[in-house]
Structure 1
Amino acid sequence: MGEHAAPRTVPRLVRWAARRYGTAEAVAEGRGRLTYAALGERVDQAAAGCVAAGVRPGDRVAVWAPNTTDWIVCALGAVSAGAVLVPVNTRFKGAEAAEVLRRTRATALFVTGTFLGASYVASLRRAAGEGPGRGPLPGLPHLREVVVLSGDAPEGFRTWKEFLTAGARVPSSAVRAAADAVRPEDPSDITFTSGTTGHPKGVVITHGQTLRVYAQWSELAGLERGDRYLIVNPFFHTFGYKGGVIACLLRGATMVPQPVFTAETALANIAAERVSVLPGPPTLHQSILDHPARGAHDLSTLRLVVTGAAVVPLELVRRLRCELGVATVLTAYGLTEASGTVTMCRRGDPPDVIARTSGRPLPGTEVKVTAPDGREVPAGTPGEVLVRGYHVMSGYFEDPDATARAVTRDGWLRTGDIGVLDEHGNLRITDRVKDMFVVGGFNAYPAEIERMLARHPDITDVAVVGVPDPRLGEVAKAYAVRRRGAPLTADDLIAWARREMANYKVPRQVEFVAELPRNASGKVLKARLRTLG
């Protein structure tokens, strides 16, 4: 592969970036700094450790750890050894993590020591310490190697240092051969869906799909060499890993990983690291804008924000541009089953298009909106969003029935999202198919109601669910977060809503909460809201 040839596998991308960007800073984490050349060497060492541990092409290797330099190194090292990466959600408890390891038959695991006050090693040992196997965790008989990234390793496990020492005996030619044997059509990762509405499923995506999507994403977003990118989205999520790590490798940007989001830490990181790029959900940007200490931090280097959700208030776009001076604010839409990105706004789109829609399909991607009977509906009509293109998953891991339900015979992915295409091809996601409810015969879309309620000046966050009603069948109930110090009452908000929207959309109940429950990807956990009554 030539110096300027576009890499088509992750192992080749790592080597290509090490040559192309060399002395440029690749990762900045606290006092730790790595150039692209040094990152390439670290990844080679991790790949050698995997080879020494008996990892074979196609083996699944899991990483259960927060956003850190070690996560980047061991994940890229595993993939460079020919393994398929299985990122594990850091919010999972031991039994949940063990289930992912069991289902994928992972042969190796990289795990953090203690994170957020919990010992991941201890919780995993409680969940899988007994069983028929003879490895480090008998309840996971396929798991041969467990490497603890930080802290001491209990008996049967290995420390990160011990793992790398074993790899030092592997000749570099063997590591290079393993990396070169990886093909673009090979699986690169199995990422589990967030499981907000059901049993999580493992989405299989290839090397070629990953690199093509995030080369396009980086180009459309305008990610540049020398950008400093604060990666708050978790690495176990498609966008954190691919829209973060992979995109930075492609463009020569500096990764600034943040393990846990707090507005205080984000503000400090932006100022100290001169951060220029900050993707994340709208709530992340809202919390930064509203933080009382914002004025004490220099945020002038921020130039690119990418966000996405059913609701992106126009006011948020305006504030990012006017109050923070962010030159480019873009919205996008994607899902794990389509490699994380389907549509994006383009630089130069007017603010109302950026706030109102998720932009147009990526090149090589088709999007259509269909009625329940499968017929395509005209522009401006809501229906289920279907996606077809090079980046649609090869399937759910070892689940052909679920794959057949999700992907039609002619390659259309049923997203389960309700949306509307405008006359220019911009997509507006209005809801999840399962979240829609019927009020007296009218279809009510929670996200549409949320978008309207979010315009109220005293509301900073809101979620709507359908609740039973003896007369109308179902009606809307809103869970809302008030702006700090606002005297707004439930009756005030309902009265305001009656002036702003059709009567069937107006919430009959409003409950104010301190914050909405969200998963690590930023999605509101509506199932949890419904249990609040």
Structure 2
Amino acid sequence: MASTTSRPSHSSHPSHVFRSAYPDVAPVELPIHEAVLGHAAAHGTRPALIDALTGATLDYARLDHHSRRLAAALAAAGLRKGEVLALHSPNSVLFPVVFYAASRCGAAVTTVHPLATEAECARQLKDAGASRIVTVGALLDTARGAARQAGGIAEILVCDRAEGHRSVLDLLDGDDPEPAPDIAPATDLAALPYSSGTTGTPKGVMLTHRNIATNLAQLAPLTTTGPGDRVLAVLPFFHIYGLTALMNAPLRNGATVVVLPRFDLRQFLTAIQEHRITDVYAAPPIVLALAKHPMVEEFDLSSLRHLLCAAAPLDADLAAACARRLGLPTVLQAYGMTELSPGTHVVPPGASPAPPGSVGTLLPSTELRIVSLETGRDLGPGETGEIVLRGPQVMKGYLGRPAETDAMIDADGWLHTGDVGRSDADGWLHVVDRVKELIKYKGYQVAPADLEALLLAHEAVADAAVIGVTDEDGNEVPKAFVVRRQGAALTADEVIAYVAGRVAPYKKVRRVEFLDSVPRATTGKILRRELRARERSSATP
């Protein structure tokens, strides 16, 4: 897949490879809808999805039926194998219906952040080559504007009701023939989420049916969720973490998914109490709230058996405090990335206690190398370097970006994550830092390059750089270092407001510092390490 020019030539002969302690799993040669819903009929009237706010319930038989009927309607409207459908929606009980319906047509789904601006949405639609959008009434203005900008959109459908648009609800009782495309799981795309990778602007991550379905099989021996369990889906389905951990995996295993459209602490705690939730998948800000917020004491959370945190680094002391408060043995962790479908490591429930802060051990059929940042040589247990991974969950590549694919995946199929970590002799992985420049705000990726380009478009800005800094709640937030144009009277509040008006809320610049110049290498590359050092020194009392 990749040239050998972007990686050391001796990577063909790694001197130390960490391998999974679990037996290998066979690649799953099924379309994702079959891999997940193949046993739906056996689960019958067992609840598959419950809306936590309204109580609306979709059982397994109806989920399967709805996805088939919607697929038939979409196919009758012209959705074909190889096309891309954009799913632009918060979490709902219909989100999986649309996802599996598109898959039954042989189309790939590109999931769009519900808070994306019109311009951000348009860029993704155009880059992905989307032919249709499924959205909700509340997001319709954004979807319409993005469709106009991107072009090539044949239809915008809604999951609820909106004048002038067909509703998914009205397409569930049609009598069109069900499509039967010839899907090649190893090569055909099931999902096209967008990720910034290690650097740069968002790129379409090509995940095949085999990638995602096999990753579910890899996770199966290390998870216990099944019939009778209730999983709370508050993390977004549009993100690969939510798509796998909160949608595909529990539905594959016959569990019940209780759906929340967004995180609100009171609604979240109410849902756990009222629906007797057994499993919660979280990001660090949710763990922080569970550990420290006084509201938690008002609720009965005794049904909880497992709390797993991923998407961003979690402080070991915070994890321990949260586990103590909830009466759990531990807060489990996991590791992965969009380009890995997404999982490679998980702390399995019931395992011998994981070392504090560990993100787990290797999934079946997955290999790990730790590579020196200085020499490129392979390192052994306890040594710290770049995390490099190989397995059937490695993406097909970045859509339309062969050079960036080659920079990420070497000639032997090893994916270079840009994360820095170490693995002990027992296989427990610790992620200690990042090579990559991405900012992770509450689990969402923010590319500094995007914000810098936006800042440089301001007439009063001569130069700008953005890094992630830690706020008082322990979240990583974007901070802009700005050089004013000569004679310009630009304030920090003006910079913050300027960016906020042009990006999704999670991308907002939250701190600003003015400099005389941005430190740069002779090549023009921003020396972010100098800015981080400056930040550390200013934070030192």
The TM-score normalised by the length of structure 1 is 0.75
- The C-alpha deviation readout for 1:338-387, integer Å capped at 9, x for no partner, is 1111111233445551x321121111111111123321123222211111
Tell me, yes or no, if the aligned pair for 1:314 and 1:356 is still in contact at 8 Å.
Answer: yes
Residue correspondences, number: 432
Give the direction of change, closer, same or farther, for the CA distance of 1:103–1:259 in structure 2 (3 Å limit). same
Counterparts of 2:426 and 2:506 in 1: how far apart (Å)? 29
- Equivalent residue for 1:39? 63
Sequence identity (%): 31
How much does 1:303 deviate?
A: 0.3
How much does 1:273 deviate?
A: 0.9
AA at the equivalent of 2:154: R
AA at the equivalent of 1:70: L
Counterparts of 1:323 and 1:59 in 2: how far apart (Å)? 48
Tell me, yes or no, if the aligned pair for 1:263 and 1:291 is still in contact at 8 Å.
Answer: no
Counterparts of 1:430 and 1:72 in 2: how far apart (Å)? 35
Q: Does 1:66 align with 2:72?
A: no
Counterparts of 2:343 and 2:115 in 1: how far apart (Å)? 23
Tell me, yes or no, if the aligned pair for 1:310 and 1:431 is still in contact at 8 Å.
Answer: no
- Equivalent residue for 2:31? 9
How much does 1:422 deviate?
A: 1.6
AA at the equivalent of 1:193: S
How much does 1:68 deviate?
A: 0.3
- Equivalent residue for 1:420? 422
Give SS of 1:267's match. Answer: helix
How much does 1:315 deviate?
A: 3.3
**Residue 316 of structure 1, aligned match among 297, 315, 318:** 318
Tell me, yes or no, if the aligned pair for 2:306 and 2:349 is still in contact at 8 Å.
Answer: no
- Equivalent residue for 2:145? 126
AA at the equivalent of 1:357: S
- Equivalent residue for 1:55? 79
Which ranges of structure 2 fall in alignment gaps of 5 or more residues?
1-26, 441-447, 449-466, 475-498, 500-504, 515-541
Tell me, yes or no, if the aligned pair for 1:318 and 1:351 is still in contact at 8 Å.
Answer: no
- Equivalent residue for 1:501? none
Which ranges of structure 1 fall in alignment gaps of 5 or more residues?
115-119, 130-138, 437-445, 448-464, 466-475, 484-516, 518-522
Give the direction of change, closer, same or farther, for the CA distance of 1:309–1:86 in structure 2 (3 Å limit). closer
Give the direction of change, closer, same or farther, for the CA distance of 1:392–1:210 in structure 2 (3 Å limit). same
How much does 1:18 deviate?
A: 1.6
- Equivalent residue for 2:231? 229
Give SS of 1:278's match. Answer: strand
Counterparts of 1:148 and 1:344 in 2: how far apart (Å)? 36
Counterparts of 1:201 and 1:311 in 2: how far apart (Å)? 23
**Residue 481 of structure 1, aligned match among 432, 451, 472:** 472
Give the direction of change, closer, same or farther, for the CA distance of 1:210–1:44 in structure 2 (3 Å limit). same
Counterparts of 2:159 and 2:423 in 1: how far apart (Å)? 46
- Equivalent residue for 1:391? 393
**Residue 158 of structure 1, aligned match among 141, 146, 166:** 166
- The C-alpha deviation readout for 1:204-257, integer Å capped at 9, x for no partner, is 111122122123324302222211000111111001011111101211010111
Q: Which has the higher contact order (CA 8 A, sep 6+)?
A: 2
> Counterparts of 1:41-440 in structure 2 under 5 Å?
41-114=65-138, 120-129=139-148, 139-154=149-164, 157-164=165-172, 168-171=174-177, 174-175=178-179, 177-178=180-181, 181=183, 183-193=185-195, 197-308=199-310, 311-327=313-329, 329-351=331-353, 353=355, 355-372=356-373, 373-434=375-436
How much does 1:195 deviate?
A: 7.0
Give SS of 2:411's match. Answer: coil
Counterparts of 2:264 and 2:49 in 1: how far apart (Å)? 20
Give the direction of change, closer, same or farther, for the CA distance of 1:276–1:42 in structure 2 (3 Å limit). same
Give SS of 2:72's match. Answer: helix
Counterparts of 2:379 and 2:184 in 1: how far apart (Å)? 42
Give the direction of change, closer, same or farther, for the CA distance of 1:81–1:126 in structure 2 (3 Å limit). closer
How much does 1:399 deviate?
A: 1.1
How much does 1:39 deviate?
A: 0.8
AA at the equivalent of 1:308: A
Give SS of 2:294's match. Answer: coil
- The C-alpha deviation readout for 1:249-275, integer Å capped at 9, x for no partner, is 211010111111121111011011111
Tell me, yes or no, if the aligned pair for 1:310 and 1:430 is still in contact at 8 Å.
Answer: no
Counterparts of 1:310 and 1:183 in 2: how far apart (Å)? 30
Counterparts of 1:13 and 1:310 in 2: how far apart (Å)? 28
Tell me, yes or no, if the aligned pair for 1:229 and 1:275 is still in contact at 8 Å.
Answer: yes
State the superposition RMSD in angstroms: 3.0
The TM-score normalised by the length of structure 2 is 0.74
Tell me, yes or no, if the aligned pair for 1:267 and 1:288 is still in contact at 8 Å.
Answer: no
